[in-house]
Structure 1
Amino acid sequence: MDLNLSFQVFFVVLATLIAARCVRHIIVKLGSKSRATENVLDDAFFDSLVAPVKGLVWILGFSVAAHLVAAHSSSVFFQSVGTIRNIGIVLMITWFLQRFLRTYTELFIISKEAKGEAVDKTLVNGLGKLLRGVVAITTALIILQNLGVNIGGLLAFGGVGGIAIGLAAQDIFKNVFGGFTIYVDRPFAVGDWIRSPDREIEGKVEQIGWRVTAIRTFNKRLLYVPNSVFTTIALENPSRMSHRRIYEYIGVRYDDIASLPKILDEVKVYLKQNPDIDQSETLMVNLDEFADSSVNFFIYTMTRTTVWAEYHEVKERVMFEICEIISRNHSEIAFPTRTLHVKNEMAINGLE
């Protein structure tokens, strides 16, 4: 390599370094101005652009330097500079798109929550993952084409080989399809409390992936459930309940059966006047059965709150008030008792 060529290569590398710094400075300035707006699209665009554009500048700079050297060299390596440059450009564009889709998804959710607007995190994250997958597959096909691979022949082979691959990876495909159905049907979302009567699955959803869903159980262990499971089991989502139910049986003594109609009326009045009870839902206070040691009645009503701790506080107040009503009517809550009736009084005297 002569001295003139060395200076040319050095100048190209220096110019590339300066250009990369200038481009980075310009993008950072534009990004800082874009943050003054409420639109998160431009924020995600400029935040995702910095690193890929720097990489693109360096790829172009090294490509120019390599062409200068190739003009004075017969090395086979320099014949592939064009292909390497094209693949590098494709990778930088892909890197930008992947960063942009991920950043925009995160900023979109954050902006909606900051405004107090409803946002379906599961759907937004699912669409983001789907688009990133499309970008990755497209990139792979473009790179293969640049490497001289016949895409048409590859797809034709895939039609035959896909059968064998499908049989070997059918569980993976089942899980991916299950993940797709979760994103489409949305039986639950991240943060929901779910449980299944068919399996020992109960906890809070932390992450929904294409293959598995991560659930934090109530003993704080992380449970990974394959998505295909959710297509074959019944699933309950308590997080989407509209009310919580109070359904309790209370028994009074047989000696207090005369006071029971008044007790039932007072309990019903209390529940109808209770602001914690939803009056638009079913409210029942009725005698239910004559049990062995008690006369049982039940209360059936719905609370306004669905919060677990608040519900138990409401239920506690209701139960204590029912105890007060029974006590005010000179009655008692029954407990298992047995009364012995002896007809022959002489039998008792004989025992004394």
Structure 2
Amino acid sequence: MTVTIPTAAPTAAAKAARAKTDAATSNPLADMRDWWDSSVAWVNSHWLEIGIAVALGLVIYVLLSMIRRIALRRAQAAPGEFTLTDIVGRVIHKTKSLVLAIIAVRLVAGYAQPPALFMQAIHFAFTVAVVLQAAIWAREIILGLIQRRAAEGHNETLSNAMGIIRLLISVALFAVAAIVILDNMGVNVTGLVAGLGIGGIAIGLAAQGIFSDLFASLSIIFDRPFRVGETIKYDTSTATVERIGLKSTRLRSINGELLVISNTNLLAKEITNYAHLHRRRVTFMIGVVYQTTPTMLRDLPALLEEQVNAAGHAFVRSSFVAFGPSSLDFELLFDVFSDDYDVVTAARTDVAIRLFEAMTAAGYSFAYPTQTTFTAAPDGRMILPYAESVTMKAPDPADG
């Protein structure tokens, strides 16, 4: 009679010890021999599928290469530099032949039913190639769009900054590509991402001022609130933009001083750009004396409008606004259709002279600050000098 003695299931510690013993006693040469034998067996049993897969892979590779060549030729034949077609051509030019070959292999690999080790190697190569190629494509597209923006505005600052912009974009894109590749390999990238985030925060805090001005410069370049050569009003200064740098912008004030303002401070305040004014409004305050008759006051707005129209400008309105301390005040508004400030000043001078001539000819008197003094006797009677319109008080016989 055979007696079977039950045995306890191996514990987790026993399994770990056994796996450690097997790993220590494994022979790399034997493993390679096993791999070679399995590969030979796979080739012998699937030689027809392998041949068909190789033929299909070559056809796919040739087709992809032809498509790349045709698209590149058409893109390069298009006129212009830094156009969208030119950017597409640059992206196609950066497509590597090795990537096309790996894509072709990945597409036909499943048909040949390769061993698991072969399939894992093909999948790994495909992932690395596609991710790196996507990073290269993204870099070329971003840099192409930035250079296109610089070419449109003939921006010297952006052209000079392309070196550091290319470096920053390349580092960022390939860092993301490396994280994606490691994650597909099964590596836990949580700690790496956290470390990169902490390092980025530390670098950002250390160079906060530099990065702040750099991004402000890029904001000025892309948003274009003003350009070189335009006249702007910043805070209380009116100046012409001479140069937009990576850290600061240089302005030439109307008095000739050179103002150097950091880009961050420049964008922190309200900016008035006079270059985009298709029309400029001119305001005149005109004061006439209180002796002006009501009829002349009613006729004054029409006279002002007539002179503005005669000068060739757009009349807006003219009206009585206030009883001043020594004048009756009228307001005149008209528009000059020009963005050149010199033209506007010349128009304002021309209209002012026309108004002076017309109002003087019509009998209007311009007011200016005056004071009138009346002299009276102890009894309240007016004595010379006095205004003619003042009625003298009759003498009292009781006064002798």
Give the TM-score range, shorter chain: 0.5 to 0.7
Aligned pair partner of 2:297 in 256, 260, 264: 260
2:244 corresponds to 1:211: no
**Post-superposition shift, 1:130?**
5.9
Provide the C-alpha distance between the structure 1 equivalents of 2:382 and 2:314, rounded to a whole number of angstroms.
Answer: 59
Q: Is residue 318 of structure 2 the alignment partner of residue 271 of structure 1?
A: no
SS of 1:271 mapped into structure 2: helix
Residue type of the alignment partner of 2:225: P
Contact 2:232 2:275 in 1 (8 A): yes
| Structure 1 residue 192 corresponds to structure 2 residue 230 | yes
Partner of 2:16: none
Correspondence 1:17-56 to 2 at 5 A = none
- 1:193 touches 1:239 (CA, 8 Å); kept in 2? yes
2:277 to 241, 251, 276: 241
Cα deviation digits, residues 221-251 of structure 1 (max 9, x gap): 4332222223421111122222222211111
Q: Higher relative CO (CA 8 A, sep ≥ 6), structure 1 or 2?
A: 1
Unmatched 5+ stretches in structure 2: 1-78, 83-139, 173-181, 183-188, 386-400
The Cα of 1:171 is off from its aligned counterpart by: 0.9
Which whole-Å deviations, capped at 9, do the CAs of 1:136-184 have from their partners, x for residues lacking one? 458899xxxxxxxxx9999986544333322211111111221222223
Give the aligned partner of residue 325 of structure 1. Answer: 358
Residues 266 and 168 (structure 1 numbering): CA distance in 2 closer, same or farther, change over 3 Å?
same
What residue number does 2:164 align with?
133
Identity, % of aligned pairs?
24
Q: How does 1:144-159 map to 2 (within 5 A)?
A: 158-159=196-197
Distance in 2, matches of 1:155 and 1:135, equals 22
Question: Is this contact kept in 2: 1:121–1:190, CA < 8 A?
Answer: no
Checking the alignment, whether the CA contact within 8 Å between 1:293 and 1:337 is kept in structure 2 is yes
Map Cα deviations across residues 301-350 of structure 1 (whole Å, 9 max, x no partner): 11122322222221111111111222122221112223345676856279
User: 1:348 aligned to 361, 365, 383, which one?
Assistant: 383
- Which one-letter code corresponds to 2:288 in the other structure? V
Q: Does 1:296 align with 2:322?
A: no
Q: How many residues align?
A: 233
- TM-score after normalising by structure 2: 0.48
Residues 325 and 212 (structure 1), Cα distance of their counterparts in 2 relative to 1, 3 Å cut: same
Equivalent position to 1:226, from 255, 262, 267: 262
Q: Secondary structure at the match of 1:236?
A: strand
Counterpart-to-counterpart distance in 2, 1:210 and 1:346:
79
1:176 is matched with which residue?
214
Aligned ranges 1:107-146 → 2 under 5 Å: 119-122=152-155, 126=158, 128-129=159-160, 131-136=162-167
TM-score by length of 1: 0.54
Select 2:368's aligned residue among 335, 338, 344. 335
Q: Equivalent residue for 1:284?
A: 317
Q: What SS does the aligned partner of 1:161 have?
A: helix
Structure 1's 326 and 231: CA in aligned 2 closer, same or farther, altered over 3 A? closer
For 1:193 and 1:310, how far apart are their aligned partners in 2?
Answer: 14
Q: Distance in 1 between matches of 2:169 and 2:383?
A: 98
Q: Over alpha carbons, which structure has the higher Rg?
A: 2
| Structure 2 match to 1:58 | none
Secondary structure class of the residue paired with 2:297: helix
Specify every segment of 5 or more residues in structure 1 that has no aligned partner in the other structure, as ranges.
1-37, 42-96, 110-118, 142-150
C-alpha spacing 1:218/1:324, structure 2 compared with 1 (3 Å): closer
What CA distance in whole angstroms lies between the structure 1 residues aligned with 2:382 and 2:171? 100
Distance in 1 (CA, whole Å) between partners of 2:326 and 2:287 is 8
Tell me which residue corresponds to 2:62.
none
CA, structure 1 residues 156+129, in 2 after alignment: closer, same or farther (shift >3 Å)? farther
- Letter of the aligned partner of 2:304 in structure 1? V
Give, in whole Å, the separation in 2 of the partners of 1:340 and 1:349.
11
Q: Is the 8 A contact 2:157 2:245 kept in 1?
A: no
Aligned to 2:240, what secondary structure does the other structure show?
A: strand
Per the TM alignment, residue 253 of structure 1 is displaced from its structure 2 partner at its CA by 1.4
* Structure 2: distance between partners of 1:188 and 1:201: 15
Distance 2:279 2:81 in 1: 37
- Report how far residue 261 of structure 1 moved: 1.9
1:9-24 pair list within 5 angstroms: none
Contact 2:233 2:271 in 1 (8 A): yes
